[in-house]
Amino acid sequence: MLKKQRAQLVLDRLTELYPETTVPLNHSNHFELLVAVLLSAQCTDERVNQVTPALFKLGNSAEIMQHVDIVEIYKIVRPCGLAPQKSKAISNLSKILVEQFDGQVPEDMAELEKLPGVGHKTASVVMSQGFGHPAFPVDTHIHRLAQRWGLTRGKNVSQTEKDLKKLFPKEYWNKLHLQIIFYGREFCSARGCDGRVCDICTSCYPNRKNPFKANKA
């Protein structure tokens, strides 16, 4: 099966399974989404959603959050891991948003990536899920599945993102990255599938004899 055929198979199966893709992180505005995505680094969406109601009660906008003591932020976000760095980033980015963007989250990838604690993946999520711009946020989970399904030989998430953007039409990017995440959690987790178990893996590679070994840097 050619790579383009595998890509079409993946797109068809995921569209059947997940025709609707709700944003997994609870939020009510762009600021809340930005903070929630920042907190989700090396943390589950479920845990983030448990933490953010109390955090956003303290401050659901940059104008309010800039005045919240970092210690108070830390107490709430501690369960998410990397709490010292995340607390500081939330406080500092709030101040920057007020000083440079009138308290609004910028609708610009480059400006988002300049904010404390906001990398390319976080900025991509905000651009796609918050503003609706075509983006293909790739985390380690999407990277793993894309390798298993023969959609990339990239050794890192940056290369995988480039490969996936070439394979799939732009109009599918925002929905597809969520569909892949949902499928990975349900059917093709790191431990639950070795490249020979789930439906998509076995359909893409029906003759795969050995566990799939990732192409690492």
The one catalytic residue among 102, 108, 114, 121: 121
* 210 within a domain of the structure (yes/no): no
Q: What are phi and psi of 161, to 5 degrees?
A: -60, -45
Nearest C-alpha neighbor of 201 from the set 81, 191, 84, 211: 211
* 212 within a domain of the structure (yes/no): no
Domain CATH number, residue 106: 1.10.340.30
* 189 within a domain of the structure (yes/no): yes
* 172 within a domain of the structure (yes/no): yes
Q: Which domain holds residue 46?
A: 30-130
Contact (CB, 8 A) for 67 and 89: no
Contact (CB, 8 A) for 198 and 188: yes
Neighbours of 68 (CB within 10 A): 17
* 92 within a domain of the structure (yes/no): yes
Split at pLDDT 50, 70, 90, the class of 90 is: very high
Question: In terms of domains, do 113 and 169 share one?
Answer: no
Residue that terminates a domain, selected from 130, 162, 185: 130
Question: In terms of domains, do 39 and 120 share one?
Answer: yes
CA dihedral 158, 171, 25, 73 (to 10 degrees): 50
Question: In terms of domains, do 190 and 124 share one?
Answer: no
Q: At residue 216, does pLDDT exceed 90? A: no
Question: In terms of domains, do 126 and 149 share one?
Answer: no
* 54 within a domain of the structure (yes/no): yes
Structure tokens at 192: 């639950």
* pLDDT tens digits for range 160-191: 999 999 999 999 999 999 999 999 999 999 99
pLDDT on residue 151: 97
**Span 23-43, average pLDDT:** 96
Find the radius of gyration of the CA atoms of the chain. Answer: 18
Question: In terms of domains, do 104 and 34 share one?
Answer: yes
Question: In terms of domains, do 174 and 115 share one?
Answer: no
Verify whether residue 155 is a known catalytic residue.
no
Whole-number Å distance between alpha carbons of 121 and 119? 6
Q: At residue 74, does pLDDT exceed 90? A: yes
Question: In terms of domains, do 121 and 141 share one?
Answer: no
Contact (CB, 8 A) for 97 and 31: yes
Split at pLDDT 50, 70, 90, the class of 217 is: low
The one catalytic residue among 3, 139, 194, 216: 139
Question: In terms of domains, do 154 and 182 share one?
Answer: yes
* 209 within a domain of the structure (yes/no): no
* 153 within a domain of the structure (yes/no): yes
Verify whether residue 163 is a known catalytic residue.
no
Helix axes 45-58, 70-77, angle to 10 degrees: 150
Grouping H, G, I as helix, E, B as strand and the rest as coil, residue 100 is: helix
Domains: count for the chain: 2
Q: At residue 9, does pLDDT exceed 80? A: yes
> Among the residues of 59-170, which ranges form H helices?
62-65, 70-77, 83-101, 109-113, 120-125, 140-148, 157-167
Question: In terms of domains, do 65 and 113 share one?
Answer: yes
